[in-house]
Structure 1
Amino acid sequence: MSQPSPRPHLTPQFCFNQTALRDFLRTSRSTIDDSITQNLNALLTPSAKPFDPASTAVRRLDAPDRSIPRAACDEFRERVLFPSWKVRSDVLDYCAGVATSPDPDDPDSVLRQVEDDRARERVVDERLDPYSGRYFPQEARTESLAMLMRNERAVEKIIRSRTWGLIGERCGLKSDSAEDAFMKWRKTQRDSS
């Protein structure tokens, strides 16, 4: 059985290092969610029924039963899937908090202030050069991080929905949405601690 994603050390530097942040999310998603079919197939007990030579005498057109025992599904969800989702949710929540907090350590803040002051002082005659009035201020790293968090949350929602659909199909679940089931699990984890 796969292992849940390990939790990274959460610091503002981790969040502002968008390469490290994306790599963590990508790796976590690839080991659990992107390979959900393989993870679910690993839950099946091979050769649970002994081979019957008479089975080759008749051609079967229906698909073999690929449903997974409920206990194996529950254990996978409780021990691997939901803990991985929790780690990713914690990282996304933490980094979203960093993105909405003031950033006194922004190395480019002085440079941006100088560029903004220069742009305000510039005299522009758009009749001579219609493009001279253009000014594209450099965005703060918190703004860039906030945009990345919005995108990653959207990706996470899509991935969880797809994963939950496959689990529902293979494990016979017909109830909650992915987010509802995850929130129930989180609540039981908080209540048991």
Structure 2
Amino acid sequence: MLTNQTEASLLSPDNCKSSTRIRAFLRLSRLATDDTIRQHLNEIQPSACNEYFQTVIVPAWKERSHAIEYCSDYALFLRQTSDSSKLEGDNNGHRTESDFDLRTDPYALKNYNEQLQSQYSQCDQIDNWVLNERNIETIIRGLTEEILNQKCYYGHWIEEFKKSLQQ
């Protein structure tokens, strides 16, 4: 479970841009909960499945969802910041040479456009890995639900998780 200190050091804009730490956390969390669920369920009675799901699986899924959503929100913020910067130009949202004093800095417009392109590229990169991790989560949760249904009893485990998010 993420502590406030761990969350503060893990969930940062830099870690969203370079996703190595967050993705390592996601992998380790999946390994500790979803990948070993058969072994854990073999150690408990079927009557304890719901408690196991609520105390082990749901918190892990929430933490992972929170980390993924944090970076998704950051990418959206970064894109909106880029868009608002772009909109400061003419009516079409384009900056022109007249917006910059090219006599004092002949590369100002070029540098501005490169910086804007770099920000959009970062947004796309974050969006891509976030989408990938969301897809992985969907697959992992589906497999975990299948195992829970095999080892315990048939339930709507993913629906229960979604309800817990709304609380």
Q: What TM-score, normalized to structure 2?
A: 0.69
| Residue 182 of structure 1: aligned partner | 161
| Residue 128 of structure 1: aligned partner | none
1:155 to partner: Cα distance:
0.4
Question: 2:29 and 2:126 mapped to 1: Cα distance?
Answer: 19
The structure with the largest helix share of the pair is: 2
Whichever of the two has the greater Rg, that structure is 1
| Residue 82 of structure 1: aligned partner | 58
State which of 155, 158, 161 in structure 1 corresponds to 2:142: 161
Letter of the 2:21 partner, please give it.
A
| Residue 14 of structure 2: aligned partner | 13
| Residue 36 of structure 2: aligned partner | 35
Is 1:149–2:135 an aligned residue pair? Answer: no
1:101 to partner: Cα distance:
1.5
1:14 to partner: Cα distance:
2.2
Q: Gapped runs of 5+ residues in structure 1?
A: 44-67, 117-136
1:112 to partner: Cα distance:
6.8
**What does the per-residue CA deviation read over 1:126-176, in whole Å, with 9 as the maximum and x for residues that have no partner?**
xxxxxxxxxxx9962121010000010000000000001101111112x32
> Is the alpha carbon distance of 1:144 and 1:69 closer, same or farther for their aligned partners in structure 2, counting shifts above 3 Å?
same
| Residue 132 of structure 1: aligned partner | none
Sequence identity, in percent? Answer: 31
Q: What secondary structure is seen at the aligned counterpart in 2 of 1:34?
A: coil
> Is the alpha carbon distance of 1:112 and 1:32 closer, same or farther for their aligned partners in structure 2, counting shifts above 3 Å?
farther
Q: What secondary structure is seen at the aligned counterpart in 2 of 1:102?
A: helix
Give yes or no for contact 1:14–1:21 (8 Å, CA) kept in 2: yes
Question: 2:113 and 2:137 mapped to 1: Cα distance?
Answer: 32
Give yes or no for contact 2:16–2:71 (8 Å, CA) kept in 1: yes
Question: 1:186 and 1:91 mapped to 2: Cα distance?
Answer: 14
**What does the per-residue CA deviation read over 1:33-63, in whole Å, with 9 as the maximum and x for residues that have no partner?**
01111121222xxxxxxxxxxxxxxxxxxxx
Letter of the 2:2 partner, please give it.
P
Q: What TM-score, normalized to structure 1?
A: 0.61
| Residue 91 of structure 1: aligned partner | 67
1:69 to partner: Cα distance:
2.5
Q: Give the superposed CA RMSD.
A: 2.7
Letter of the 2:27 partner, please give it.
R
Count of matched residue positions in the alignment of Structure 1 and Structure 2: 133
